[in-house]
Amino acid sequence: MKYIFLFSIAIYFTNGISAQSTDSIFIKKIYTEALTNSGCYENLRYLCKNIGPRLSGSENAEKAINFTHELIEKTGVTKAYYQPLTVPHWVRGDKETAVISFIDEVDFENLRKDDSKEALVKSKRKSKKFNICALGGSIGTPEGGMAAKIIEIHRFSELDSIGRNGIEGKIVFYNSPMDATKINTFEAYGPAVQFRSKGAINAAKYGAVAVVVRSVTTAIDDYPHTGAMRYVDTIPKIPACAISTKDAEWLSINLKSNPNSELQIQLFCKTLPDVESANVIGEIKGSTYSNKYIIVGGHLDSWDLAEGAHDDGAGVMQSIEAIRILKNLGYKPKHSLRCVMFMNEENGLRGGEQYAKEAKEKGEIHVAAIETDAGGFAPRGFASEGNVENKQQLKSWTKLFEPYNLHSFTGNGGGADIYKLKEQGSALYELEPESQRYFDVHHSALDVFENVNKRELELGAASLAALIYLLDQNSK
């Protein structure tokens, strides 16, 4: 009996080692294919340079839908199709302007006899232009712009302590930098971005006439970063814009010595009626569990200030490339695989919501959903959300990923477009690239193709393909 037990243990470990060896060999093929035969970098070039910014409802968004449908179809998927939906249509309009005017301290006590107070004040009046951009979804200013005194706020609790008497009729300047001590910059993003998303709502409660929000970035530069903001119908809607970090630093210093400074801003943005749009889906039918799905995707829309190269052109092209790699290697998946290009992540999440809604209505079972929406930088691992078994399974593949410098598998996260699938029992995964440079370009004019590295982009695509393969092989 003792020998039978030992023999069983030996068979168990031999089979485990054999499976690991088989997986290791195939994953090596995946990375070789990605690094020697990939077209995702050139596809991203076309998306960025020939189509450009792709805000929901725009003509460019429609062009991007058709382009990616052609790309996924060329990979040889079983079928490629559109998933119709309606999206919001916000437009920026003309370039925004912001000018501060202030009076340097005037020494009236030592006023010379031949000087008048009026002349001295006039000579001390100064102005400075700021780099700003409207936040997505903001209303515009009245025709000709608006001007008001500024009050600096660092946390929402200050609004409560100052109260309506100190805020009413003023422009609230939210100056809350991202925490530079966070090594994973996404951990610093959440606390800072709340001022962008909820700042107008909270300031309007106290009678503010507009808000100016420090750009949510780790860089100190002249580029303002846009992003979605929100209103609620029960609170007055006020204009909202972002200011570059360099100008935010200057403004904060200036307000200390010139608290009565006046800021004039002019925003030309507005919201138009909703527009018909679509998600783009490519599907490979599974051989064993064809009624169960593993999906990978990113969002096709981008903000209008730049080309949306990292956010999220890179994620879209990596997702398509992951499917192409598996097809090109002749891989026959057990589960049905889908590549999904979601529309309207940036200012509405309607693409993700529509996908989850239809999946629920059809009774589809999603074994796993993978999102890539953190830039095309060097991959470092995967975050996950699901039960304990899902997380343990991901961690068990550490040695398979180690040769490719993927080492982070303990983070929580799944991505905004796939999040509602969690309610339907799907395990969620999100590619985690190196995060140090992401917020330098995020939602700004710097998010262009030239800031994407070809090899890093391809490594991310290979990492996605490897995870899809492992999930497909080890799920039922």
Q: For 373-386, how does the pLDDT look when each residue is reduced to its tens digit (9 = 90+)?
A: 999 999 999 999 98
**CB-CB contact of 313 with 41 (8 Å):** no
Whether residue 8 is predicted with pLDDT greater than 60 in this model: the reply is no
Work out the number of other CB atoms within 10 angstroms of the CB of residue 310. Answer: 29
At residue 12, the pLDDT reads: 44
pLDDT of residue 244: 98
> 171-174 and 270-284: which strand pairing?
unpaired
91-100 b/e (C-beta count within 10 Å ≥ 16 → b): ebeeebebeb
Q: How many of the other CB atoms lie within 10 Å of CB of 121?
A: 13
pLDDT digits (tens, 9 = 90+) for 39-77: 999 999 999 999 999 999 999 999 999 999 999 999 999
pLDDT at 103: 78
Where exactly are the structural domains of the chain?
Answer: 30-90+273-474, 97-268
Q: At what angle do helices 59-74 and 314-328 cross, to 10 degrees?
A: 10
pLDDT at 180 over 90: yes
Q: Which residues face 271 on adjacent strands?
A: 90
Where is average pLDDT lowest: 95-104, 140-149, 337-346, 423-432?
95-104
pLDDT above 90 for 371:
yes
Rounded mean pLDDT of the chain? 93
State the maximum Cα–Cα separation within the chain, in Å, rounded to a whole number: 114
Per-residue confidence band for 456, with pLDDT thresholds at 50, 70 and 90:
very high
User: pLDDT at residue 124 above 90?
Assistant: no
Residue 105 pLDDT > 80: no
- Provide the Cα torsion 308, 310, 315, 316; round to 10°: 30
Report the chain's C-alpha Rg in angstroms.
26
pLDDT computed for residue 386 by the predictor: 86
Q: Is the pLDDT of residue 427 over 50?
A: yes
Instruction: Give Cα 177 to chain centroid, integer Å.
Output: 18
What size, in residues, is the chain?
A: 476
Distance between CA 462 and CA 431 in Å, rounded?
Answer: 11
Question: Span 121-130, mean pLDDT?
Answer: 76
Residue from 112, 113, 102, 62 nearest 85 by CA: 62
CATH match of 97-268 with 3.40.50.261 = no
426 pLDDT higher than 70: yes
Domains 30-90+273-474 and 97-268 share a fold: no
Per-residue confidence (pLDDT) for residue 147, from 0 to 100: 98
- The pLDDT of residue 11 is above 90: no
pLDDT value at residue 102: 87
Print the SS3 string covering the chain.
Answer: CHHHHHHHHHHHHHHHHHHHHHHHHHHHHHHHHHHHHCCHHHHHHHHHHHHCCCCCCCHHHHHHHHHHHHHHHHCCCCEEEEEEEEEEEEECCCCCEEEEEEECCCCCCCCCCCCCHHHHHHHHEEEEECCEEECECCCCCCCCCEEEEEEEECCCHHHHHHHHHHHCCCEEEECCCCCCCCCCHHHHHHHHHHHHHHHHHHHHCCCCCEEEEECCCCCCCCCCCCCECCCCCCCCCCCEEEECHHHHHHHHHHHHHCCCCEEEEECCCEEEEEEEEEEEEEEECCCCEEEEEEEEEEECCCCCCCCCHHHHHHHHHHHHHHHHHHHHCCCCCCEEEEEEEECCCCCCCHHHHHHHHHHHHHCCEEEEEEECCCCCCCEEEEEEECCHHHHHHHHHCHHHHHHHCCCECCCECCCCCCHHHHHHCCEEEEEEECCCCHHHHCCCCCCCHHHCCHHHHHHHHHHHHHHHHHHHHHCC
Confidence of residue 139 (pLDDT cuts 50, 70, 90): very high
Give the end-to-end CA distance of the chain in Å, rounded to a whole number. 33
**pLDDT of amino acid 119:** 52
As a whole-number percent, the residues of the chain with pLDDT over 90 amount to 88
Give yes or no for residue 155 having a pLDDT over 70: yes
Please give the average per-residue pLDDT across 392-398, as a whole number. Answer: 95
Looking at residues 25-51, what average pLDDT do you find? 98
Top pLDDT among 239 and 3 is at 239
Confidence of residue 16 (pLDDT cuts 50, 70, 90): low
Q: Locate 340 and state its tokens.
A: 């999904």
CA distance 272 to 152: 32
Q: What is the pLDDT of residue 107?
A: 45
pLDDT for the residue numbered 9: 45
30-90+273-474: which CATH number, 3.40.630.10, 3.40.980.10, 1.10.3470.10, 3.90.1200.10? 3.40.630.10
Q: What is the pLDDT of residue 320?
A: 98
Cβ neighbours of 163 (radius 10 Å): 11
Amino acid at the residue 290: S
Mean pLDDT of 301-323: 98
- Among 19-28, 240-249, 467-476, which stretch is predicted with the lowest mean pLDDT? 19-28
Average pLDDT over residues 144-172: 97
pLDDT band at 104 (very low <50, low <70, confident <90, very high): low
Q: Percent of the chain at pLDDT above 70?
A: 91
Tell me the backbone φ, ψ of residue 273, rounded to 5 degrees. Answer: -60, 155
387: confidence class by pLDDT, cuts 50, 70, 90: confident
Q: What is the dihedral of CA 415, 421, 427, 432, to 10 degrees?
A: -10
352 pLDDT above the threshold of 80: yes
Q: Is the pLDDT assigned to residue 10 strictly greater than 50? A: no
pLDDT at res. 114: 52
Q: What is the pLDDT of residue 37?
A: 97
1-15, 140-154, 270-284, 428-442: range with lowest mean pLDDT: 1-15
